[in-house]
């Protein structure tokens, strides 16, 4: 039976970079965002469902148009709740298949932005939260150029505050530098192995 480590953190905190460090250390990683991206491809279950709920959010080739979806959510926040209700069960089924496929692994990582918000922390043996100061977070998100300040604030409002995530975490991984994050990843894995073998 694998030790399940949940990885989470608010937008712009360096979660993807940190997840890659765990993958480099040999852990099988299930990435919630990548799963959603795959399910949004033409003919995939989420794309078909979204096509029924929000026809304007589907491009001519059958792909989900994320920019249109973001605009719909910005105009009507209830769209996000309906979207989540449709997509979350599909994502959960994919996650269950991943865990079954890797049950022999010593440690597996579930990379989930809304881990606490959807209650998935209860299915994990430990939770690591990536964290950086608010101004670093904001600069990272807005410098990507893919999001406006208003969109950033909408997403932040739907996420558990960073301070609350840190309070509920088993481990906090500082992402102010790559070196700090890398060392923290090593420390987390060493601690899990120590605890497992105790």
**pTM, 2 dp:** 0.87
Confidence check: pLDDT of 26 > 90: yes
pLDDT tens by residue, 132-159 = 999 999 999 998 887 888 888 888 888 8
Residue ranges per structural domain of the chain: 1-28+106-198, 33-101
Look at residues 32, 66, 30, 33 and name the one whose alpha carbon lies nearest to residue 47: 66
Q: What count of Cα atoms within 13 Å lies in the side-chain half-sphere of residue 32?
A: 20
pLDDT band at 198 (very low <50, low <70, confident <90, very high): low
φ, ψ (nearest 5 deg) of residue 30: -105, 120
Q: Tell the CATH topology of 1-28+106-198.
A: Rossmann fold (3.40.50)
Q: Count how many residues are written for the chain.
A: 198
Instruction: Say if residue 141 is exposed, middle or buried (CB neighbours under 10 Å; 0-12, 13-18, 19+).
Output: buried
Q: Is the pLDDT of residue 197 over 80?
A: no
- 23 pLDDT higher than 80: yes
As a dihedral over the C-alpha atoms of residue 31, residue 37, residue 43, residue 49, rounded to 10 degrees, the angle is 90
For residue range 85-103, list pLDDT tens digits in order.
999 899 999 999 999 999 9
Query: 35 pLDDT exceeds 70?
Result: yes
Distance CA 19, CA 145 (A): 22
Report the share of the chain in percent with pLDDT over 90: 80
């Amino acid at each position: 039976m694998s030790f399940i480590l949940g990885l989470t953190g608010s937008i712009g905190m360096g979660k993807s970079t940190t997840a890659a460090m765990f993958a480099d250390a040999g852990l099988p990683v299930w990435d919630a965002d990548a799963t959603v991206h795959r399910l949004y491809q033409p003919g995939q279950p989420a794309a078909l469902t979204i096509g029924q709920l929000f026809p304007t959010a589907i491009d001519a080739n059958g792909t989900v148009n994320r920019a249109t979806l973001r605009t719909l959510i910005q105009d009507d926040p209830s769209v996000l709740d309906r979207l989540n209700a449709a997509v979350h069960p599909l994502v959960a089924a994919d996650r269950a298949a991943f865990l079954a496929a890797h049950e022999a692994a010593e440690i597996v990582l579930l990379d989930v932005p809304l881990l606490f918000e959807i209650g998935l922390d209860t299915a994990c043996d430990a939770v690591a939260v990536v964290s950086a100061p608010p101004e670093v977070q904001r600069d990272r998100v807005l410098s990507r150029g893919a999001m406006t300040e208003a969109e950033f604030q909408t997403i932040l409002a739907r996420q558990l505050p960073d301070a609350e995530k840190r309070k509920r975490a088993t481990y906090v991984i500082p992402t102010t530098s790559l070196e700090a994050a890398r060392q923290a990843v090593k420390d987390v894995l060493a601690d899990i192995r120590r605890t497992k073998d105790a």
